[in-house]
Structure 1
């Protein structure tokens, strides 16, 4: 049995009637995503009325997935969806958690739907120039004007290509990239972008003004490496490897200057730990993404993400890679 559904952003909606107006059947399975990354799975012969009751109970619903099942049994696929959801996220269901999978194989596929906020009060409407796309475009344009952006774009493209599974289809829901995110730091510090897997930042680029000079640095978080960190350091300080701790995970943090990571990927600076970094970065990203949806979806900059995804395609192009490695490799 294969079920195909759609996922919608419902943070501004009290009813889903408007987004299901073209759906011939309102009977089926549904999955709610919450701001804290948890989920709830249910079934209903009328998901519109069921969602309304859930909204009255929970104010922190951010996504709604609907899998139409016009006829047939709903119990077995519901238990299967609960089990599949429970393996990747905290599930708010109580009655059917930890139930075994049903007898039939069920495959669930979701695609992103489009939600529009249609308020009754005119003053609450979204005006031209106030929409999310307008705000995203302004920030993206500001970032893209920086002289460092072209190099940074290629570096993040490499990171996406090497360490994110199915990056195009998992963007916004399982990973996000924010553009010029705000930070509670001095004015001399500016975060350029932050890529998060699940609910943890895994690649951050930032600038600091030091003695009147602007320096661009970045860090990559990975799963903890099982070696002495002193053996990974660069005596010239072009990269630093250190321990890090977040509420979601312990990490190894790799810090680079923009120029050093560019030289490493171009093959002009020897870096013997590249495979270790990539493998551990992938393991952390997958672990975080399998925990469920991200709570940072509202900060995802679509324009920046599409530009970075386009850049990631270069890293699968042998002709392009051959061109950037013509300079050879140097020692420390």
Structure 2
């Protein structure tokens, strides 16, 4: 059923097929696509996905790939036709619907509390990782303070050596000092177990040329979690006064923070 509107995806009606005793869904779904699909597993778990070629995508799930090990416990698949330009919105809505109805979801995307295995498990016990979500990660400020007090003969960073970073912002600090202050706050208070995971799960980029140039970026995995454009941004303050100033950009989905 194709949708003419992006509203009310949660009410989509799916066709359901039992697949626990068949190797390929090609005879059932060869002519379907693009679709939103729901995989059902023996233990009651579910997975919601989108596909242009659902036959190929099902085979990837059944036999495994770069995203997960083989899922040999798939017992059923549900599908519904959706316009290609609406797949992401529909997928998000169905994941939310499945979670709200009490199903344990194997998705990583749009499912922030997923507990699927990851490469991080080898470095930090799963039990300790779960504390992060409730705000009980390790934030060891003492070690940061000790490191900041040490003398250093290292070559100055590209940020410190750049001419643009010596400009001052509205409160009198240089751009370089403001960038370092914001990085320090983020690393010390946002990234749990920062000392333990430095280099493996988070890094700093010094004056990268990404997207027109950054003063610096704080990278978590493949994400620029915090970045500082080299060009000023126009911002509207609470009193509706527009200002043009250098700014730090926190890269999070809309609605993550109130």
| Superposition TM-score, scaled by structure 2 size | 0.35
Considering fraction of residues, name the structure with more strand. Answer: 1
Higher relative contact order (CA 8 A, sep 6+): 1
Q: Quick check: which has more Rg, 1 or 2? A: 2
| Superposition TM-score, scaled by structure 1 size | 0.28
